[in-house]
Amino acid sequence: MSKPIVFLLEPSPGVAERAEQALREEFGAEFQILHEFTTDDALRRLEVLRTQGRHIALLLVAESLVGEEGCGSVDRVADWFPDARRVFYGRDETAPEPPVPGGTTFAARIPDPWTAPHVALFPVLRDLLSDWRPGAQASTPTVQVIGFQWSRQAHEIKDFLARNRVPYVWVDWERETETRRQAEAEGVEVGALPVVRFPDGITLSQPSDGQMAERIGLSTEAESPFYDLIIVGGGPAGLAAAVYGASEGLRTLIIEQEAPGGQAGQSARIENYLGFPEGLSGGDLARRAVEQADKFGVEILAARQVTGLRAEGPYRVISLDDGSELGCHTVLLSTGVAWRTLDAPGCQTLIGAGVYYGAASAEAESFRDQDVYLLGGGNSAGQAAMLLSRYARSVTMLALEETLSERMSQYLLERIENTDNIHTRPCCTIDRATGDGRLETITIRNVKTEEEETVDANGLFVFIGAAPETDWLESVVARDEQGYILCGAALNAEDGNRHGWPLRRDPFLLESSLPGVFVAGDVRAGSVKRVGAAVGEGSMAIQFIHQYLSER
Ligand SMILES: Cc1cc2nc3c(=O)[nH]c(=O)nc-3n(C[C@H](O)[C@H](O)[C@H](O)COP(=O)(O)OP(=O)(O)OC[C@H]3O[C@@H](n4cnc5c(N)ncnc54)[C@H](O)[C@@H]3O)c2cc1C
């Protein structure tokens, strides 16, 4: 099989010669190094490589080419090779930063890189290339998902695979007749759709998350009946706690009902997480965290839901969705929040058939050259709009707010304003959705003028906030009116009510009303709903867990 490619676009012959040689020495064993002097030549060659089915892992563009030409090449590469990492490098640190092309999701600027590439440049490139690999398996046999585009179950399967970072090929039964004929010849019947075909020839019809988890090698059964720490929820808070806990000797199990990574795993690009100045996708963050947890021996159960929690003397007992139980000394609740659903007629029945909740990364490609709508005015809506704009013909953001600046970060707002195919409609909501088996129209209402307009819509992505799903913890731990879990000082109400706290000592900072049960991240009452905060709280919780264990 041909090697994936590192493609260099450098106009200066002297620099190009040095750069190519350095790249070959460093990356030549795994990657083919190609170079062109001009953007036109580069585009011609890239087009040929695309038709040959080759993979571009990294495009390196000299900053002197940034401007219309260089940006054009970067944009084109983003279209042709969506997985390719794109890096500008420059030689003049004092020059003003050039405009980054609209829709470009990553552009690192490394000054004077070829003088000592091992110092500044190669660590960055290595890091980027390690991120690239998981998404670049298309040339190896991949999982195939075969079904109808507007099937909710097919959407859920794609979302599950995407969130578990399993590369798959989507086969639309109605459009891709060749693959369909092949599947039919192999005995796949229309009534069995959606089906998932694995590289080893196993085909699953309408599989559950649990069946898929087993097939893709995720654990669904715990290895031991008892742990020092059981973490419920594998988002950033849970993963951070697991890394700290396991690295400090606690036998640690994470139980995650969907895929490790949590909400952050759905983020197209997190730009404000410390240590990643160019941002990183939620998928990358989740993959790194899972690898790190794995390194320290954390056990992770995926596609398993925790449905109950109780105290049994000094022990805590967790119930799972199949009725089985696991014991432990301590529990961390890091269950985050779940998307709020849109309560407009028609929307519920069209979920997965054109109406999606936070699933932009799994579905973006299906909406190539189509018109999509997005409801919501926060950062998650903004990130999804940027991602969708790379594929869709137009993305219309509908928001209740008068201006997006009310809830969206400035950097994201600027990107949205600079992206031609994103349009915004303030003071709007959706009153109705219609469609026969798939979304066809939505009715938009201006909440100020009360004017209504019904428009054709292929896709509607909904980002209208989130709420904790903690009903299963009712009468187990104290919660506020919205269901967020109280802990630490929040358990001491002014009227002396301690929300059922049973001990003479005060609860630790992140300890819930049930001693030994801790809480971290978005599900905590008063949390700030940021990746950094969730990671910080998850890490801190371990300190209190050690204190709790040492006092017993
Ligand atoms: C699209 C999007 C973009 C975002 N972008 C940014 C950003 O750019 N910067 C930023 O700082 N923040 C961002 N956020 C917010 C950030 O992702 C969250 O603050 C963070 O993920 C919270 O982490 P957490 O671990 O507390 O919870 P979550 O990430 O919500 O994880 C909780 C996990 O618990 C699991 N779970 C829940 N109940 C159970 C149960 N009963 N049994 C088993 N498992 C369960 C869930 O499946 C989930 O995986 C974004 C959020 C979204 C949705």
Q: How far apart are CA 62 and CA 455, in angstroms?
A: 44
Once rounded to an integer, what is the mean pLDDT over residues 276-298? 86
**Structure pTM?**
0.77
Which residues lie across from 459 on neighbouring strands? 372
Residue with the bigger pLDDT between 504 and 175: it is 504
239, 257, 263, 337, best to mutate for ligand 1 pocket (most atoms within 8 Å of CB): 263
- C-alpha distances in Å from residue 405, one per residue of 317, 408, 410: 45, 5, 7
Give the rounded percent of residues in the chain with a pLDDT score beyond 90: 51
pLDDT band at 98 (very low <50, low <70, confident <90, very high): low
Query: Which atom of ligand 1 is the closest one to the Cα of 236?
Result: 25
325, 335, 413, 462, best to mutate for ligand 1 pocket (most atoms within 8 Å of CB): 335
* pLDDT of 175: 83
Determine the distance separating the centroid of ligand 1 and the alpha carbon of 20, expressed in angstroms. Answer: 42
Query: Which atom of ligand 1 is the closest one to the Cα of 237?
Result: 25
pLDDT tens, residue by residue, 80-91? 787 788 887 775
**Model confidence at 537: pLDDT above 90:** yes
Could you tell me the two tokens for 99? 């405009």
pLDDT tens, residue by residue, 256-274? 999 899 988 877 778 888 9
pLDDT tens, residue by residue, 420-445? 999 999 999 999 999 998 999 999 99
pLDDT tens, residue by residue, 121-155? 887 788 778 767 645 444 445 788 999 988 999 99
Query: Which atom of ligand 1 is the closest one to the Cα of 531?
Result: 11
Number of H helices, E strands in the chain: 13, 26
Determine the distance separating the centroid of ligand 1 and the alpha carbon of 143, expressed in angstroms. Answer: 26
* pLDDT of 136: 47
Q: How far apart are the two ends of the chain, measured CA to CA in Å? A: 59
- Residue with CA closest to ligand 1 atom 7: 270
Once rounded to an integer, what is the mean pLDDT over residues 14-32? 90
Could you tell me the two tokens for 279? 């941002």
Q: How far apart are CA 431 and CA 162, in angstroms?
A: 30
Q: How far apart are CA 489 and CA 330, in angstroms?
A: 20
Q: Which residues line ligand 1 (CB under 6 A)?
A: 232-238, 255-258, 262-264, 266-267, 270-272, 305-306, 334-337, 358, 379-380, 383, 469, 521-522, 529-532, 534
Determine the distance separating the centroid of ligand 1 and the alpha carbon of 336, expressed in angstroms. Answer: 5
* pLDDT of 486: 97
531, 535, 540, best to mutate for ligand 1 pocket (most atoms within 8 Å of CB): 531
E strand or H helix at 534: helix 531-551
Residue with the bigger pLDDT between 462 and 69: it is 462
Rounded to 5 degrees, what are φ and ψ at 352?
85, -15
Mean pLDDT for the chain overall: 87
* Cβ neighbourhood burial of 358 (10 Å; 0-12, 13-18, 19+): buried
Q: How far apart are CA 364 and CA 158, in angstroms?
A: 11
